[in-house]
Structure 1
Amino acid sequence: MAAAGAEAPDSWYLALLGFAEHFRTSSPPKIRLCVHCLQAVFQFKPPQRVEARTHLQLGSVLYHHTKNSELAGKHLEKAWLISQQIAQFEDVKFEAASLLSELYCEQNLVDSAKPLLRKAIQISQQTPYWHCRLLFQLAQLHTLEKDLVSACDLLGVGAEYARVVGSEYTRALFLLSKGMLLLMERKLQEVHPLLTLCGQIVETWQGNPIQKESLRVFFLVLQVTHYLDAGQVKSVKPCLKQLQQCIQTISTLHDDEILPSNSADLFHWLPKEHMCVLVYLVTVMHSMQAGYLEKAQKYTDKALMQLEKLKMLDCSPILSSFQVILLEHIIMCRLVTGHKATALQEISQVCQLCQQSPRLFSNHAAQLHTLLGLYCISVNCMDNAEAQFTTALRLTTHQELWAFIVTNLASVYIREGNRHQELYSLLERINPDHNFPVSSHCLRAAAFYIRGLLSFFQGRYNEAKRFLRETLKMSNAEDLNRLTACSLVLLGHIFYVLGNHRESNNMVVPAMQLASKIPDMSVQLWSSALLKDLNKACGNSMDAHEAAQMHQNFSQQLLQDHIAACSLPEHNLITWTEGLPPVQIQAPNGPTTSLASLL
């Protein structure tokens, strides 16, 4: 809360301002007294500059420290109107516009925020810092409205303006932000040249080391995300390694308090601590796709621990987003590793986080229903799984998520065995041989697996082998361990049915080894059952007994976890398909689902 200095030398003003600042920074803050001091300024009929600045200070205090948004808005509107009549009063003028548009957005008055920001952008061209900041703010507003085309246009304007005023650093920030939106829009042909240009700017820019490294982290995060969206788990490794080295470098650098000479450079992408969590997050995403589930668990634990510390001091919405995405990934890990009860409790935790933020819920509702669908499959509630996946499909426009949901819904129809029309309709939409809807290598490999699974259930074994060999070829090319294990055990099952015990053994043994390494409980259960039957058929009674014991152990673990999950009050979430997640969950009367699929 800076004093007006030479503009208002009167002692009454400086005294009131000093008292207001004292009350604002007290522990705890005495906001009511702070507001009284600032309001007292108006009793002295101050000059316009003091009046405008005081309205801004009052609006800011009320906005940040109280729930009186109506009064905050009135003060900020006055600050904005008065400051426009005063020459060379940029800080007050543009800070008022920025805060007021934020307030409008919180009140869902987006149509008031947009023209305000456009006017401020129009008159701020001689003030590089504010011009860039307001462009970023309007681009963010368009992004939240899902108008990515307008947001990209504004970021392009910002990049060109930053180039003209000689700020290569901020030019890179604008371009990287635009690249992020183009990735969200799946405009991959535009992304490649843009990222190439960004890479050149980042490498050649010589400035503050922390700013340079943060640009590099932003650039590498986009590259890693691009690879992971494409399901290229092996190809991304060099980029991911660079990113991890980069964040280690940043953590050793001290913040340089020397301000840049170019005011357009006065931006930070993310605080160092947030960047660390983000790098953990993309590492978890990679580990999950690759099937290194213990590694995913380790990095999730580290990230969540750091998030908890940060959230005590910082209520930034991005931290809640990071937390939800981390939980979404670890929930999938738990379901694979046979920890359904824990997964269900974490799904409930995501529901609670989403209840606190309508924006978070609208961004993650489809993922929540998808996770519930996966949980329903794991406890053999196939009707509920279908309802959850159908709800998720209704809520998503994201092509990769859509393909993931459809692939899992197809697996539900295959298991149910009586939904031929719906199944064939789905499979036509995710045909890996023809016009596959997304560029993801991983999802296309999964679609081949689903085709193989269907052919197996229909007794068309040669066709099943063709599809599964295609899955194996694609999985091995990009180290997709879970798909490899699933394909091997299913091929082993086919060869067993065909009476080719040697070939079956050649598939099932490596499937078991890989499933143990992941660890994937379902594939271990399946593999141990096959090994028991194979060894029995070949007369290897000791090996058959050992496999039977393993199968029994896996069955018991899964059965106990199944009963624990279905006994939790959160199990009732499987019936939720409309609106916000339920606040209170009534406990069901014990497990009601069939355990046949586990035994």
Structure 2
Amino acid sequence: CRFCSIVIPVCQKILQFASAQDYKAPESWYLALLGFAEHFRTSSPPKIRLCVHCLQAVFQFKPPQRVEARTHLQLGSVLYHHTKNSELARSHLEKAWFISQQIPQFEDVKFEAASLLSELYCQQNLVDSAKPLLRKAIQISQQTPYWHCRLLFQLAQLHTLEKDLVSACDLLGVGAEYARVVGSEYTRCCYLDLLLMERKLGEVHPLLTLCGTIVENWQGNPIQKESLRVFFLVLQVTHYLDAGQVKSVKPCLKQLQQCIQTISTLHDDEILPSNPADLFHWLPKEHMCVLVYLVTVMHSMQAGYLEKAQKYTDKALMQLEKLKMLDSSPILSTFQVILLEHIIMCRLVTGHKATALQEISQVCQLCQQSPRLFTNHAAQLHTLLGLYCISVNCMDNAEAQFTAALRLTTHQELWAFIVTNLASVYIREGNRHQEVRASFSGVEVRALCITL
């Protein structure tokens, strides 16, 4: 390419100069190209195309295996995070994973490639490719505590998304025991916290007490301690909200909001922990702020504080837009979709139908960008369209949307909510008593109680 034709001669001159000065020539040309690439990546605005060209130019010099594998990883990461060219990103990450397995003591590149590649596979709905990749990486990472813990989390998350909670809990239990063996109470608590999600309400209280004690007694990096508290409190709040205990959640939510204010004032340049297993961070603090806004919106909606829900949604969406300019992490799009789902219901309740329809369109656009996101939120999207159709008195269309939503969900509470609204459509249309009875015939009494 034209850019490479300029950069390569420059690097060749650097190479000649380095040789004349008796420097390590291969390192010199590599560092020159890497410097160019990083300069373009961090430019304002970022010049990703030029960054990619610089990294691709490395291969023109037939680099050694270590440089080749690391460059494939860097290219895959840049393409994955900053472009929509997922196929090319996948190709580079697969090469990085393959080459790095042949190189001894090259753990960081090897396991980062595996982690990113499995994330990309999941985004492309290639879960059957992601699982064996993660299992192999977990198997060979036992001597690398940070990556072993992170990869266990990643596979547990994948099983959770597939509703395979037994496998997810097994992996979390393995992770908690591994963290105990390597002496990381911080990471052990992260695993125990996640186990809260898979327990019924009556089984949670002993685990809550254990996790709360570990969090409060843990001594270490201030950012990690506050991060751990945020993690624990987010899971505690969402657990109570799932159980419909809106009043019980208030003290925890207040603590969570105070905690996120504290963590936002701390600097990231604290001393790194000595235990490699403690290097794991469950979420960047900028993402934590959005997550706290999100659970606050969830609570406000359940408690009927619609104005408060709108205020916090606006703040969260504004923060998300800023973050997405620099970070293309899939979790940000997930946060955005969940926030929009809540605020759409709020708009429909308050009579802002046109705004609701615009926001439904935003959800569609976000889901179209990610097959995984669409799979996870298709039923909710059809449900929101059905609710909108009811609000504008288009009962035939509402029925069609709710029927489509029922085919796409296995979630008990969502299914009961859809059926309840579908029954209301039949009642409004009149003379459809048989359909009303049929709608409720498969709904469990517990699901109806939760919904109503």
Q: Once the 2 structures are TM-superposed, how far is the Cα of residue 352 of structure 1 from its aligned partner?
A: 2.6
Q: Contact 2:66/2:100 (CA < 8 Å) preserved in 1?
A: yes
Structure 2 unaligned segments of length 5 or more: list them.
Answer: 1-18, 434-442
Q: Once the 2 structures are TM-superposed, how far is the Cα of residue 117 of structure 1 from its aligned partner?
A: 2.2
Q: Once the 2 structures are TM-superposed, how far is the Cα of residue 272 of structure 1 from its aligned partner?
A: 2.3
Q: Once the 2 structures are TM-superposed, how far is the Cα of residue 250 of structure 1 from its aligned partner?
A: 2.0
The verdict on how the C-alpha distance between 1:29 and 1:194 changes in structure 2, with shifts beyond 3 A counting, is same
**1-structure distance, mates of 2:445, 2:86:** 34
**1-structure distance, mates of 2:446, 2:283:** 41
**1-structure distance, mates of 2:24, 2:147:** 22
Q: Once the 2 structures are TM-superposed, how far is the Cα of residue 127 of structure 1 from its aligned partner?
A: 1.1
Q: Once the 2 structures are TM-superposed, how far is the Cα of residue 221 of structure 1 from its aligned partner?
A: 1.6
Q: Contact 1:208/1:256 (CA < 8 Å) preserved in 2?
A: no
**1-structure distance, mates of 2:351, 2:130:** 49
The verdict on how the C-alpha distance between 1:370 and 1:97 changes in structure 2, with shifts beyond 3 A counting, is closer
Q: Contact 1:182/1:191 (CA < 8 Å) preserved in 2?
A: no
User: Given the two structures, how large is their TM-score scaled by the length of structure 2?
Assistant: 0.79
Q: Once the 2 structures are TM-superposed, how far is the Cα of residue 345 of structure 1 from its aligned partner?
A: 2.7
1:125 matched to 2:138? The reply is no
Q: Contact 2:122/2:372 (CA < 8 Å) preserved in 1?
A: no
The verdict on how the C-alpha distance between 1:304 and 1:584 changes in structure 2, with shifts beyond 3 A counting, is farther
Deviation per residue, 1:179-219 (Å, 9 max, x gap): xx767667445544333322221111111222212221221
Q: Once the 2 structures are TM-superposed, how far is the Cα of residue 7 of structure 1 from its aligned partner?
A: 9.9
Q: Once the 2 structures are TM-superposed, how far is the Cα of residue 261 of structure 1 from its aligned partner?
A: 0.9
Q: Contact 1:120/1:134 (CA < 8 Å) preserved in 2?
A: yes
SS in 2 for 1:67: coil
**2-structure distance, mates of 1:248, 1:20:** 36
Q: Contact 1:182/1:188 (CA < 8 Å) preserved in 2?
A: no
The verdict on how the C-alpha distance between 1:59 and 1:344 changes in structure 2, with shifts beyond 3 A counting, is closer
Q: Once the 2 structures are TM-superposed, how far is the Cα of residue 226 of structure 1 from its aligned partner?
A: 1.7
The verdict on how the C-alpha distance between 1:224 and 1:38 changes in structure 2, with shifts beyond 3 A counting, is closer
**Which 10-residue stretch deviates more, 159-168 or 380-389?**
380-389
Tell me what 2:130 maps to. 113
The verdict on how the C-alpha distance between 1:342 and 1:102 changes in structure 2, with shifts beyond 3 A counting, is closer
Structure 1 unaligned segments of length 5 or more: list them.
Answer: 175-180, 421-582, 588-594
**Which 10-residue stretch deviates more, 186-195 or 300-309?**
186-195
Q: Contact 2:123/2:372 (CA < 8 Å) preserved in 1?
A: no
The verdict on how the C-alpha distance between 1:199 and 1:98 changes in structure 2, with shifts beyond 3 A counting, is same
Deviation per residue, 1:323-362 (Å, 9 max, x gap): 2222222222222223223323322332232223222222
**1-structure distance, mates of 2:136, 2:420:** 48
Choose from 19, 28, 37 the match for 2:36: 19
**Which 10-residue stretch deviates more, 184-193 or 267-276?**
184-193
The verdict on how the C-alpha distance between 1:198 and 1:86 changes in structure 2, with shifts beyond 3 A counting, is same
Q: Once the 2 structures are TM-superposed, how far is the Cα of residue 15 of structure 1 from its aligned partner?
A: 4.7
**2-structure distance, mates of 1:22, 1:397:** 48
SS in 2 for 1:132: helix
Q: Contact 2:81/2:327 (CA < 8 Å) preserved in 1?
A: no
Q: Once the 2 structures are TM-superposed, how far is the Cα of residue 59 of structure 1 from its aligned partner?
A: 4.7
**1-structure distance, mates of 2:171, 2:444:** 44
Q: Contact 1:233/1:286 (CA < 8 Å) preserved in 2?
A: yes
The verdict on how the C-alpha distance between 1:250 and 1:408 changes in structure 2, with shifts beyond 3 A counting, is same
Q: Once the 2 structures are TM-superposed, how far is the Cα of residue 128 of structure 1 from its aligned partner?
A: 0.7
The verdict on how the C-alpha distance between 1:182 and 1:373 changes in structure 2, with shifts beyond 3 A counting, is farther
SS in 1 for 2:20: coil
Deviation per residue, 1:351-408 (Å, 9 max, x gap): 2322232222222222222222223333333333333322222222111222222233
Q: Once the 2 structures are TM-superposed, how far is the Cα of residue 131 of structure 1 from its aligned partner?
A: 1.2
The verdict on how the C-alpha distance between 1:256 and 1:381 changes in structure 2, with shifts beyond 3 A counting, is same
Tell me what 1:457 maps to. none
SS in 2 for 1:6: coil
The verdict on how the C-alpha distance between 1:119 and 1:329 changes in structure 2, with shifts beyond 3 A counting, is closer
The verdict on how the C-alpha distance between 1:331 and 1:4 changes in structure 2, with shifts beyond 3 A counting, is farther
**1-structure distance, mates of 2:173, 2:450:** 54
Deviation per residue, 1:482-529 (Å, 9 max, x gap): xxxxxxxxxxxxxxxxxxxxxxxxxxxxxxxxxxxxxxxxxxxxxxxx
SS in 2 for 1:98: helix
Deviation per residue, 1:60-117 (Å, 9 max, x gap): 4555566666665555445444443443232233233333434444555433333232
The verdict on how the C-alpha distance between 1:69 and 1:395 changes in structure 2, with shifts beyond 3 A counting, is closer
**2-structure distance, mates of 1:586, 1:241:** 30
Q: Contact 1:244/1:279 (CA < 8 Å) preserved in 2?
A: yes
**Which 10-residue stretch deviates more, 162-171 or 227-236?**
227-236
Q: Once the 2 structures are TM-superposed, how far is the Cα of residue 58 of structure 1 from its aligned partner?
A: 4.9
Q: Once the 2 structures are TM-superposed, how far is the Cα of residue 151 of structure 1 from its aligned partner?
A: 2.4
Alignment of 1:159-170 (within 5 A): 159-170=176-187
Aligned residues: 423
**2-structure distance, mates of 1:3, 1:367:** 66
The verdict on how the C-alpha distance between 1:311 and 1:85 changes in structure 2, with shifts beyond 3 A counting, is closer
Q: Once the 2 structures are TM-superposed, how far is the Cα of residue 171 of structure 1 from its aligned partner?
A: 1.3
Percent identity for Structure 1 against Structure 2: 93
**2-structure distance, mates of 1:108, 1:4:** 52
